[in-house]
Amino acid sequence: MTDTVAEMNQVMADADCLVTEQQVHTAINTMAQEIADRLKDSNPLLFCVMNGGLILTGQLLPKLHFPVQAEYMHATRYRQETTGGILEWKLRPDADLNDRTVLIVDDILDEGTTLCAIADYCRAHGAREVLTAVLVDKQHDRKARPDLKADFTGMEVEDRFLFGYGMDYKGYWRNAPGIYAVKGL
């Protein structure tokens, strides 16, 4: 356990800070305004995608000054790895999606496999409209679908393995107050 703490402290010490906390706050404020402009009269059903979506959702929700029904779901495919595998549903949406406007909130659009699967699931279960919001869109050409974009994106970030603001490295540092890239990855 002590070894793990030492390793994780070293990961942070060696990491590159790509986006500061202040820059993240600015991006979240902009996202909140864009979401409000689009959804304020839509009675949206918002889903936090656990675990990574936790911080963005927590910071976004109080900035949405209109009625929002908030729920969560959990789908995962990276586990403790830095490359994605098969998507596993840990908790499917519980709420009735029929004829609803759904907003999916997650930390990162990387290859997009996770968001595509969740959006497809919501549509298949009757959602009228499915929108997506991510703090980070990682820039590379490995997207699950060509030109895949979220409806609301906080920022575009280079193709490194990231942690902070919900994103984890081996389960750690979701709490890092900024967006960091692991040394060498």
CB of 173 to ligand HPA, least distance (A): 9
Q: Does 109 bind ligand PRP (CB under 6 A)?
A: yes
3-class DSSP state of 43? coil
Stretch that binds ligand PRP, among 14-22, 58-66, 71-79, 95-103 (CB under 6 A): 71-79
Q: Does 78 bind ligand PRP (CB under 6 A)?
A: yes
Q: Does 68 bind ligand PRP (CB under 6 A)?
A: no
Q: Does 132 bind ligand PRP (CB under 6 A)?
A: no
**Exposed/middle/buried for 165, CB within 10 Å: 0-12, 13-18, 19+?**
buried
Distance, in Å, from the CA atom of 85 to the CA atom of 66, rounded to the nearest integer, reads 37
Distance, in Å, from the CA atom of 80 to the CA atom of 175, rounded to the nearest integer, reads 16
Q: Does 153 bind ligand PRP (CB under 6 A)?
A: no
CB of 7 to ligand PRP, least distance (A): 18
Q: Residue type for 107, please?
A: D
Distance, in Å, from the CA atom of 179 to the CA atom of 156, rounded to the nearest integer, reads 11
Helices (H), the chain: 2-14, 21-39, 54-60, 113-124
Closer to ligand PRP by Cβ: residue 123 or 170: 170
Binding site for ligand HPA (CB under 6 A): 78, 108, 110, 161-163, 167-168
Instruction: List contacts with ligand PRP (CB under 6 A).
Output: 49-52, 76-78, 84, 106-114, 168
